[in-house]
Structure 1
Amino acid sequence: MIVVGISAYYHDSAAALIRDGVIVAAAQEERFTRKKHDPAFPKQALEYCLSAAGISIDQVDHVAFYDKPFLKFERLLETYLAFAPRGFSSFRLALPVWLREKLFLKSLLAKELKAFSANIDWESKLLFGEHHQSHAASAFFPSPFDEAAVLTLDGVGEWATSSLAIGRGKKLEVIKEIHFPHSLGLLYSAFTYHLGFKVNSGEYKVMGLAPYGTPRFTDQIFEHLMDVKDDGSFRLDMKYFDYCAGLTMTNDHFSQLFNLPVRKSEDALTQVHMDMAASLQAATETVVLKLAAAIAQETGMKNLCLAGGVALNCVANGKLFKQGTFEKIWVQPAAGDAGGALGAALAAYHGYLDLPRESCTSYDRMQGSYLGPQFEQSEIERRLKAAGAQFEILSDEALIEACASDLDRGHALGWFQGRMEFGPRALGGRSILGDARSASMQSTLNLKVKFRESFRPFAPAVLREDVQNWFDYDADSPYMLMVAEVHSSKRIAVPEAEKALFGIEKLKVARSEIPAVTHVDYSARIQTVTADTNPKYHQLLSQFKAKTGCPVLVNTSFNVRGEPIVNTPEEAFKCFMGTDIERLAIGNCYLRKERQDPALKISYENAFELD
């Protein structure tokens, strides 16, 4: 039985394919089109999934879409009527799109699928799951648990913005919901907008900005914006928000409450912006912890799964893990809308088709989230030659030795190995790596490689067997979705004179033996690496440890700011030549920057729209 899942037409469109309950492939359309957060029908992602499965589309039994457009349209209409006439300008812009495309999504999807094969009655093969059902399925079914509570938190699906589901075996039932417009995800997006970042893409910047500030506005959030009960349920005061009826997220009441206008993206970040980010993050953590505590008490479940965009808030996840409300927590690595494609396929397979779910025999069923395209060595060599690259072909052992030595010398290394990751994080398949011990590596990668804001922190990749020696954490975190503090034994006392530094200046002070991955509050977004899911990556970390005594590397995604993560060898080479990355390893091809043709160097800094 083959089921394809599709998410599309909002942001982060994706396709996923499962065969007999096993995840075969999953990818986001942006990786192929090179348009960040591409919302279009995932034509190329679907082509890849079919190719990875070695099948034609005629062999697909069902195609599952990740939400129900009629319910979403119902919410749109009811919301506009509730706020009329104030929402007319927004309504006037949205309605033609809905009437032309989204309301008749079944026929639109069938038309897209007929481009693959015109002889199939696609409408009879199409299934539609509710948005939060898809999210919950993406979290529970790939998890290692036979039973678990599933908490989904995002902006909004059809009506639901927060939901609780219970998963047992192949059964998954949503039992509670909080409905639009009351949304923790939209609250976070409202602050993201007000702080001058892009909604649906800049939320993680707000999370990264928070440690520079003091949460002095948290009381105002709970007094004016949000009423939170003891069980974590909440309501927002819509007086301060404009996303129901207007064209912006916040309004003048919001600005007056904080005595702060909407920041323009080019304006400097001040302490008040950092304090607002810190306050929002603190409020978010309070709600998540209260929700989790109430769920544990109500359900008696020992395991928790998380999905939805808010589940990518790894700081809140880390606090939840530390609180110990649940014995085990598993977060879907593609927790946002892209993961809805996978969830829709799994919900259709186990729910609609009532087919069995086998017991998990490994860490989980996601295969390390390495579910995207890969390239054979001969194909890599052919593509690099065509691109004009100069490279050596090394054995696995020689490649690992050369790369570990490069990292020890302070070089930035492009690392393109195996299958591409599914989800927003690079996990050692399409990564840029650096020496975590280097005091200058954080600013070097931000300014000379990523071309992005200097305040943004980087994540450590650490050998799983060593994580407890370097961080206050002793568990798996393969998807970079848990934040913990650097171990006290690895910290460095900050000189008294430097404690008074303002905002981003704080990051210039080395706070630990691994300053490149230590945030100003000693936190780090951990990725644990094991030999079973990524042996080559594990070998590199092990070799670096053998040379230096340190089992930790900087790991950031292989792209520049505003660009999707690289997908092909050509894209990796282009990024290599347009940045200050000094070494590149693609398969067993090893490239040195100084041996490349200078004429191939490109200006990459302004190649993509800023995220």
Structure 2
Amino acid sequence: EMLFGQPVRRPDAPVTPFHMNMAASVQAVLEEAVLALARTALQRTGQRHLCLAGGVALNCLANTRLLLDLPGLDGLWIQPAAGDAGGALGAALELGHSRAPAPPARRRGHDAMAAGLLGPAYPADEIRAALEAAGLVHDEPADAGTLARQVAAALADKQIVGHFDGRMEFGPRALGNRSILADPRGTETLSRVNRSIKFREDWRPFAPIVLADQAAAVFEAPSDSPYMLLVTKLKPAFRGADDLEQARARGLNAPMDLQGAVSSDFAAVTHVDFSARLQTVDPAGGARAGAILQAFHAMTGCPMLLNTSFNVRGEPIVCAPGDAIDCFLNTHLDLLAIGPFLVHKSAQPDWVQQKIGRMRFAAD
């Protein structure tokens, strides 16, 4: 029960300076180990490009250290389902190579994993049937462009949106197709999504989904991260007046105190050191989240949105239409964009409004 003279931290117990220092120390040791392994791999093989998989490859800080601090590294590619699920890909690849001729070489820069959107998709008729079975009032905009603009307008109006479209992501990161989206500006967004939708601690920030051609204007290098597997920092022009060192000098140590003292123009998606777990998206890729983000940028001048997985704490990311509907009905989401349909919470029948009235915030 005791480690380093401290009891084991229980779930939902306060995070103390000891916990923060311990986490930072473990992270620092991990980064040095990853750097040493990568350095050895490059030396032994003579290669200048690395391909990562495995659960540790989900550690965005360690991945970024490789790009910034490893001499001789010309390229880094991280498998988007890096973890146990990705092991199946390795097994299939090994078997395929052992039983068939080698496939033709892929051109460099080409994403053969189709943005990681390899999961199931659902036709409009099946989604419509699920909405009708749930008794939900829904609209069907005239076309995809109209839907994207209507969702962007709702986001600009500070509504929180559950977005469900196309194939589900393969891996642990929601990349836009099974995502909760929100305006990243302002601390009230962070608190609201944490308390009334994700049901987790107030201090936890979210990830930004950013237009690929705008990322370098807002974030420092590396600013190309399609799978949300790298960390970068906000450029100084978008940071608040106080930094982490100044906040600690004033005696602030608790996570919420630090989160409140160290602000930025995009407070809901940046940590207290102005870092962010970046995801970049190119609307030309065809994913609807990119079109929504492009419309939001045109309306507000803000090139990013808050992006978090479409689920609540302790639950898997939604997969089928029924999963998305259940999450919509059991959280304080304002709008569900599901397939070609929009479901506004405010337009629902009395029984839905009564259910919302009975819901409590996680911190109550």
Q: TM-score, normalised by structure 1?
A: 0.55
Any conservation in 2 of the 1:335–1:423 contact (CA below 8 Å)? yes
Q: How does 1:408-487 map to 2 (within 5 A)?
A: 408-487=156-235
- Cα distance in 2 for partners of 1:560, 1:605 equals 14
Aligned to 2:15: 269
Aligned to 1:139: none
Q: How does 1:330-479 map to 2 (within 5 A)?
A: 330-350=77-97, 352-361=98-107, 363-394=110-141, 395-479=143-227
Q: Look up the SS of the partner of 1:460 in the other structure.
A: strand
Any conservation in 1 of the 2:211–2:280 contact (CA below 8 Å)? yes
Q: Give the Å deviation of 1:359.
A: 2.2
Q: Give the Å deviation of 1:501.
A: 2.0
> Which amino acid counterpart does residue 559 of structure 1 have in structure 2?
N
Map Cα deviations across residues 344-391 of structure 1 (whole Å, 9 max, x no partner): 1111101x2143222224632111110111111222112211111111
Q: Give the Å deviation of 1:286.
A: 1.4
Any conservation in 1 of the 2:177–2:287 contact (CA below 8 Å)? no
Map Cα deviations across residues 390-432 of structure 1 (whole Å, 9 max, x no partner): 1100121221111111111111111101100010010001000
Which stretches in structure 1 are left out of the alignment for 5+ residues?
1-250, 607-611
- Cα distance in 2 for partners of 1:359, 1:527 equals 27
1:300 pairs with 2:46? yes
Greater relative contact order, per chain length (Cα 8 Å cut-off, separation 6+): 2
> Which amino acid counterpart does residue 182 of structure 2 have in structure 1?
G
Any conservation in 1 of the 2:163–2:338 contact (CA below 8 Å)? yes
- Cα distance in 2 for partners of 1:424, 1:605 equals 28
- Cα distance in 1 for partners of 2:15, 2:301 equals 38
Q: Look up the SS of the partner of 2:326 in the other structure.
A: helix
Q: Give the Å deviation of 1:489.
A: 2.1
Q: Look up the SS of the partner of 2:259 in the other structure.
A: helix
> Which amino acid counterpart does residue 509 of structure 1 have in structure 2?
A
Aligned to 2:324: 572
Q: Give the Å deviation of 1:605.
A: 8.0
Q: Give the Å deviation of 1:481.
A: 0.4
Q: How does 1:168-183 map to 2 (within 5 A)?
A: none
Which of the residues 533, 555, 561 maps onto 2:307? Answer: 555
Map Cα deviations across residues 158-193 of structure 1 (whole Å, 9 max, x no partner): xxxxxxxxxxxxxxxxxxxxxxxxxxxxxxxxxxxx
> Which amino acid counterpart does residue 254 of structure 2 have in structure 1?
G
Map Cα deviations across residues 95-115 of structure 1 (whole Å, 9 max, x no partner): xxxxxxxxxxxxxxxxxxxxx
What's the C-alpha RMSD, in Å, of the aligned pairs?
2.1
- Cα distance in 1 for partners of 2:222, 2:308 equals 22
> Which amino acid counterpart does residue 382 of structure 1 have in structure 2?
A
Map Cα deviations across residues 249-302 of structure 1 (whole Å, 9 max, x no partner): xx76xx2xx211222224322111111111111111111122222322332211
Any conservation in 1 of the 2:35–2:70 contact (CA below 8 Å)? no
Change in 2 beyond 3 A, CA 1:274/1:392: same
Any conservation in 1 of the 2:247–2:261 contact (CA below 8 Å)? no
Q: Look up the SS of the partner of 1:391 in the other structure.
A: coil
Map Cα deviations across residues 61-85 of structure 1 (whole Å, 9 max, x no partner): xxxxxxxxxxxxxxxxxxxxxxxxx
Q: How does 1:48-63 map to 2 (within 5 A)?
A: none
> Which amino acid counterpart does residue 113 of structure 2 have in structure 1?
M
Q: TM-score, normalised by structure 2?
A: 0.91
Point out 4+ residue stretches in structure 1 off by more than 6 angstroms: 602-606
Change in 2 beyond 3 A, CA 1:426/1:345: same
Q: Give the Å deviation of 1:512.
A: 1.8
- Cα distance in 2 for partners of 1:377, 1:266 equals 40
Q: Give the Å deviation of 1:532.
A: 4.1
Q: Give the Å deviation of 1:439.
A: 2.0
Change in 2 beyond 3 A, CA 1:605/1:310: farther
> Which amino acid counterpart does residue 7 of structure 2 have in structure 1?
P
> Which amino acid counterpart does residue 564 of structure 1 have in structure 2?
P
Q: Look up the SS of the partner of 1:556 in the other structure.
A: strand
Change in 2 beyond 3 A, CA 1:338/1:598: farther
Q: Look up the SS of the partner of 1:392 in the other structure.
A: coil
- Cα distance in 1 for partners of 2:333, 2:269 equals 18
Change in 2 beyond 3 A, CA 1:604/1:424: farther
Which stretches in structure 2 are left out of the alignment for 5+ residues?
none
- Cα distance in 2 for partners of 1:320, 1:436 equals 28
